[in-house]
Structure 1
């Protein structure tokens, strides 16, 4: 029988209040976004003020202000509720959690730009200082202003088939490319900072110099022109001599130039005309990137007593005060219920923001310390010693939810002796071990496969994918043949049949 009736039921549930939503939002903000958020709160909340003092907050007048370092049980309770809300609320954190098993290379944006050629100009005295080799202004240049050279190179690096280690090296090299497309900095310094061999950095650079636009990531004007001539199949001995003597061409000393190159006047004119079709600044057609310095949220330094010391970067932490004296004046002057409600709301929002900022800083330090503990081998020995790590491992170690760890590591950077890295860089996939052994990092397995194939020329024995699987299983790595083939193809290594033919030809 259908009818209406009243029932009383008890149940547990969690309502996502505006304060909890704000606390969740603060966790995933970068330091720049956090500063903008705090500025907006300072403008609309009269009870908040920024602490401009250089030293610690003055507590001599406790009625004037509440320091940002104040932490109460209410703040702790609020963040425990946030972790509960990650399980039961409508806030979807699955997109953040995808990074738990993702490699650094899989997180790079896949944006490709126009690969059209660049114009040139005739003033050789300006080679390497700006401009191009002819007076054409390039009709496609305005379209390319929307994409920076760094973004264009990073997109190509993502699709180049690098291993995660080589991809990290490629990104470090791309960071050293200036607006003209030239690589600034010593390869030995990059290799030392990343803890890898110089020959490996040079091999990655050789691949990167094949990116578009042709000539990019050269270390000098002659090398830039050489790369463009090689692509056109015009780099013969005479042209190589011309490229090595650009100073004579800048001085218009054609007689000395012809003598060195061993060509007549007609050939010299053709060679110079061909050089005029090249560009000394291959990156000039891209939009200039606004320099934005990455400010780390966490500093990691060697501890004299052993291990590593993890510290928050105090420069990125907003210093806010709640002006209690002004709150008392305003509260005493409130007459209507609307005014009283406004003052009470401002006081509650100010206190909550101060406590949330303090808890945010502690959570970042807690997560950062655990990541450093898990990846201490990387800090000590280099990128090839990254251990398999995911969000769940860190979350269980510190007693937080995975989505909370994911939010904390988003847009947060750590400064280490090996450079500045995003916290998500340290989360790497794993490959199971045979028996009861510890899991292996996917990056370490890829490097091992590449090393085995690199030694084929010396040994004269070409390894098939099945043989590689057998060798890895003997070493305690449980891996399938299709996984080996996938890694080999990602490394752009041909099959065993093709490699055997290459060895015979050599």
Structure 2
């Protein structure tokens, strides 16, 4: 072994901080980008919001600050026109989100209307604050007694009052109690159905009616009847109420509208504030007497101009991807979902001469509003295909899933179709698919297996 010094030539892709930021901005959703820009405006004093009209911007060298200042003094920094949405255009109803109805507020309102002992009602208010996301009571009665210094009798009395409130099942400690409360409120006290809830819920979920029937010494039909009642109860009393969990807002990045026989893509210009450079900092660079101040401003100016340029590049990439999707999926936009063609990231990437990863980032968590106000996830336009024996054309997986769903909906429930039966029918229709793929699509559609769909 010995030491040596060798020269090796190799190629490496090193992502600069600017490149990393550009990639990060591209894959942000409209909401995420809006939050990021607002944060940058707070942290970078050079940036400010300004209402400006759209026109084509000039080219400039970011490193030449004199040129930037001269360029900005013209007050012509504007974003490229992508058939931008005007203020007079129709606004999607998805833009307006109704105020959330808080479950806890709804419960407290009911408690406030009750007549009873104040200490019992106070315990009920405490219980309202102790609900989890499902609407179950997240603390034990022992903990409530200890925390509030009340007797066990009082806490049980309060629990009885609390569980009588709307929605049904509120304040239950577990699923079984939640279902039992609902049965009680509906006036059902059948011993057998209560027994199924307390002891055989797991078997019921598996549609193992024969085992339950054997245990309770009743017919399979009776078990099925009880099962139907139980399955119509609400396992999550909080459903439909705002519980404090994160609400995800859907903001379209673009609009696709049909005018006469032509489609137009309009980028949503309301997503972000219009960015401009604060005049005060332009003057600091012109002065150049305070070297330290000038260097600070140059650094912030660099960041600001890069952000503006990256946002413009992001918009351009999304626009180009949508243009290509519109070209490939024209029949979908004309006639509906059943005409969605198989389309992969690779197809769009090749057509645009981009990398697949760029397309993937460009469509991540992004939405588009189409003609009738329907907001669609851009990713949903991409679907794999399976070769059809008829004509050799590919059929999108979306349409195959639709076929499977229709087959199950029209099947004989006493003899539900197995995955193999569905597979055979699809093969007869010219769709080359395996039983394993059918099972996969069925699970994605949240359709139970044939044994769990069987009716007696």
Q: Same fold (TM over 0.5)?
A: yes
Residue in 2 aligned with 1:406? 360
Q: Deviations over 1:45-98 (max 9, x none)?
A: 343332234676999x95524514279xxxxxxxxxxxxxxxxxxxxxxxxxxx
1:414 is paired with a residue of what secondary structure? Answer: strand
Structure 2 residue runs of 5 or longer lacking an equivalent are 59-69, 82-106, 115-120, 136-165, 169-176, 192-233
Task: Measure, in 1, the Cα distance between the counterparts of 2:21 and 2:382.
Answer: 27
CA apart distance, 1:479: 0.9
1:316 is paired with a residue of what secondary structure? Answer: coil
Task: Measure, in 2, the Cα distance between the counterparts of 1:473 and 1:440.
Answer: 13
Q: Which aligned pairs between 1:456-495 and structure 2 lie closer than 5 A?
A: 456-457=411-412, 465-488=419-442, 492=447, 495=450
Task: Measure, in 2, the Cα distance between the counterparts of 1:394 and 1:227.
Answer: 58
CA apart distance, 1:477: 0.9
CA apart distance, 1:378: 4.0
Residue in 2 aligned with 1:2? 2
Q: Deviations over 1:237-295 (max 9, x none)?
A: xxxxxxxxxxxxxxxxxxxxxxxxxxxxxxxxxxxxxxxxx99x864886156877532
Residue in 2 aligned with 1:304? 260
Task: Measure, in 2, the Cα distance between the counterparts of 1:379 and 1:52.
Answer: 34
Q: Contact between 2:284 and 2:294, CA under 8 Å: does it hold in 1? A: no
Q: Which aligned pairs between 1:190-269 and structure 2 lie closer than 5 A?
A: 229=186
Q: Deviations over 1:356-392 (max 9, x none)?
A: 1111111111122333444444444444444333322
Q: Contact between 2:285 and 2:298, CA under 8 Å: does it hold in 1? A: no
Larger mean CA deviation between 136-145 and 21-30 belongs to 136-145
Q: Contact between 1:395 and 1:405, CA under 8 Å: does it hold in 2? A: yes
Identify the structure with bigger relative contact order (alpha carbons < 8 Å, sequence gap 6+).
1
Q: Contact between 2:111 and 2:124, CA under 8 Å: does it hold in 1? A: no
Q: Contact between 1:466 and 1:481, CA under 8 Å: does it hold in 2? A: yes
Task: Measure, in 2, the Cα distance between the counterparts of 1:181 and 1:383.
Answer: 37
Task: Measure, in 2, the Cα distance between the counterparts of 1:426 and 1:230.
Answer: 49
Residue in 1 aligned with 2:269? 314
Structure 1 residue runs of 5 or longer lacking an equivalent are 72-117, 126-133, 150-179, 183-211, 216-224, 235-277
Q: Contact between 2:134 and 2:238, CA under 8 Å: does it hold in 1? A: no
Question: Over aligned residues, Cα RMSD in angstroms?
Answer: 4.9
Residue in 1 aligned with 2:208? none
CA apart distance, 1:478: 0.9
CA apart distance, 1:332: 2.7
Residue in 1 aligned with 2:19? 20
Residue in 1 aligned with 2:77? 67
Residue in 2 aligned with 1:51? 50
Q: Deviations over 1:285-323 (max 9, x none)?
A: 8615687753211111122124x3221011113322235
Q: CA separation of 1:16/1:491 partners in 2, compared to 1, >3 Å: closer, same or farther?
A: closer
CA apart distance, 1:119: 12
Residue in 2 aligned with 1:352? 306
Task: Measure, in 2, the Cα distance between the counterparts of 1:385 and 1:496.
Answer: 33
CA apart distance, 1:445: 1.6
Q: Contact between 1:388 and 1:442, CA under 8 Å: does it hold in 2? A: yes
Task: Measure, in 1, the Cα distance between the counterparts of 2:189 and 2:319.
Answer: 54
Task: Measure, in 2, the Cα distance between the counterparts of 1:227 and 1:377.
Answer: 54
Q: Contact between 2:27 and 2:361, CA under 8 Å: does it hold in 1? A: yes
Task: Measure, in 2, the Cα distance between the counterparts of 1:366 and 1:181.
Answer: 49
Q: Which aligned pairs between 1:93-108 and structure 2 lie closer than 5 A?
A: none
Residue in 1 aligned with 2:29? 30
